[in-house]
Amino acid sequence: MKTNLKIFSLIAIAAIGLGIYANNWGSGNEPDAENISNSTPPFNQVLKPLAKGSMAAMRILDKPLDLNKIAFSDNNGNSVTIADWNGRSVLLNLWATWCPPCRHEMPFLEDLQAKLGGEKFEVVTVSIDLKSPTKPKAFFAEIGLKALKFYWDGTGKIFTDLKMENLAFGMPTTVMIDENGMALGVLNGPATWNSDEAIALVQQALKMSN
């Protein structure tokens, strides 16, 4: 009987020791099963596979880039910044009337805004025509743009600011920005923004933001 009690005591002590070891292991650098199941892949791992087809030129950034201070003017000439869109995702597009590819893609951006624009997302097209907004406003009216709002930077500083961040290299330039004003990706050159690939990419970015 005494022998059985000794054996039982040794087994109990060993079990307690294993339990302590297991708890210490679980609190170290190795994630436990619950953390693994609830973990979310980094945004670039999720978005990069969607940069294909009409979106193949989209460069998904390795790290989000803060663009909250990027400034331009609204339709009434009031100064605004990307921070004014906090809580909403933005597709920021720089264009000009003297840029044929910009003019060509504008209806696609209009269509994207009509399809996905709302409380959580806006296509923000900023004209960098110098001196006066007269020509770009006339172009808006000429091709019947209604879903897109008019924004303008007559100094061209917005292009310089994005170039300093290694985002803008030519026209048009389009930047995908999350609800916190952080750039996730950039596409230099024109694209078919109402394509299935573009819509899928934007929708996935919105899912990650919500």
Helix axes 100-116, 196-209, angle to 10 degrees: 50
CB 130 within 8 A of CB 154: yes
* Cβ neighbour number for residue 2 with a 10 Å cutoff: 6
CA distance 185 to 51: 10
- pLDDT > 70: percent of the chain: 80
Interacting residues of 160 by C-beta distance below 8 A, sequence separation 6+: none
20 pLDDT more than 70: no
pLDDT tens string 133-192: 999 999 999 999 999 999 999 999 999 999 999 999 999 999 999 999 999 999 999 999
What pLDDT score was predicted for residue 41? 77
State the DSSP string of 21-37: HHHHHHTSSS--HHHHH
Selection from 47, 57, 21, 31 nearest residue 169 by Cα: 57
Interacting residues of 110 by C-beta distance below 8 A, sequence separation 6+: 123, 145, 146, 147, 148
Q: What homologous superfamily is domain 42-209 in, according to CATH?
A: Glutaredoxin (3.40.30.10)
pTM, two decimals, is: 0.81
49 pLDDT more than 80: yes
17 pLDDT more than 50: no
4 pLDDT more than 80: no
What average pLDDT does the segment 109-118 reach? 98
Report the chain's mean pLDDT, rounded to a whole number. 86
33 pLDDT more than 80: no
> What are the sequence ranges of the domains in the chain?
2-36, 42-209
130 pLDDT more than 70: yes
72 three-class SS = strand
Placement of tokens 């003297």 in the chain: 98
Angle at 165 between CA 193 and CA 56, to 5 degrees: 30
What average pLDDT does the segment 78-100 reach? 98
